[in-house]
Amino acid sequence: MPPIRLTRSLLGTFQTASPRSTATLKQRCCYHSSQYSQPPPFAPAESAILSAAISHVPNVGFTIDALKLGARDAGYLDASTNLFPRGVFDLINYHLVTQRLALKDTVQFPTEGENGKKLGTGVKIRTLALARLRANEPVVHKWQEALAIMAQPTYVPPSLAELARLSDEMWYLAGDKSVDGSWYTKRASLSAIYSATEVFMTQDTSRNFVDTEQFLDARLSDGMKLGSTFGALSAWTDYTVHSAVNVLRSKGMRI
């Protein structure tokens, strides 16, 4: 993809439409915060093997072979793959987690946008979503394999939990500080939009994934509608899983 454009105006996208006031909201929303130090998400040996294994994914896919090659590269025996009780899913999860955590360093917003105006939240969300999608480019031709694994019943809950963390991270980095009912609907909406675009990207043959970018813009423009449609966790869970399965079936895979 070409460099991320910050000039497209998406002001007004994802603005709150919740009728509930903050005074009546009983629950307290939790945010990712850079003010608190977080422990490393992976132990040193696991990180060494997984980071080496990711480099083999473009050639051998998200497979046990990739894990074995990663173990060898990191100086461990093939048996070291026993460190990963979830097998290949742990490799997929490593990619998801590390790319989410990398967003805060890979995307930096200027203090002011064009004409001295501050960048809107919608523009920032679009930029962050594109940056995260681009992180899939080296493995996008193997990402359908990852989607098929994530769609397995055992791995749906942790996959959706990580998707929710990604959505929360993007809203946090975009500067969202809402504490009303829209906190939930906006994150559910963005999760649905991102997952749909990620599935679309696996089929995109356009130059620099320009069709994926346009698909994302169209979904963001419908953000308010999606906010009500996917407000419930079960709705966008079904949407995410069914989208992945339908794409894989269209490619001839028996799922």
Indicate whether 244 pLDDT > 90: no
pLDDT at 16: 40
| Cα separation, 207 vs 72, whole angstroms | 36
217/124 same-domain check: yes
115/191 same-domain check: yes
pLDDT at 246: 61
* 113 part of a folded domain: yes
Higher pLDDT, 22 or 71: 71
172/70 same-domain check: no
Indicate whether 107 pLDDT > 70: yes
181/148 same-domain check: yes
Amino acid at 158: P
111/209 same-domain check: yes
| SS3 at position 165 | helix
For the chain, the average pLDDT equals 80
Residues whose CB falls within 8 Å of the CB of residue 241, separated by 6 or more in sequence, listed in order = 151, 156
Each residue of 27-36: pLDDT tens digit?
445 545 454 4
pLDDT at 211: 97
61/128 same-domain check: no
Indicate whether 192 pLDDT > 50: yes
Positive/negative CA dihedral, 29, 192, 100, 255? positive
pLDDT at 142: 96
* 103 part of a folded domain: yes
* 5 part of a folded domain: no
Angle between helices 156-173 and 182-201 (to 10 degrees): 110
Domain that holds residue 208: 89-250
| SS3 at position 238 | helix
Is 0.75 surpassed by the pTM of this model?
yes
Amino acid at 100: R
How many domains is the chain partitioned into structurally? Answer: 2
Number of helices followed by number of strands (H, E) in the chain = 11, 0
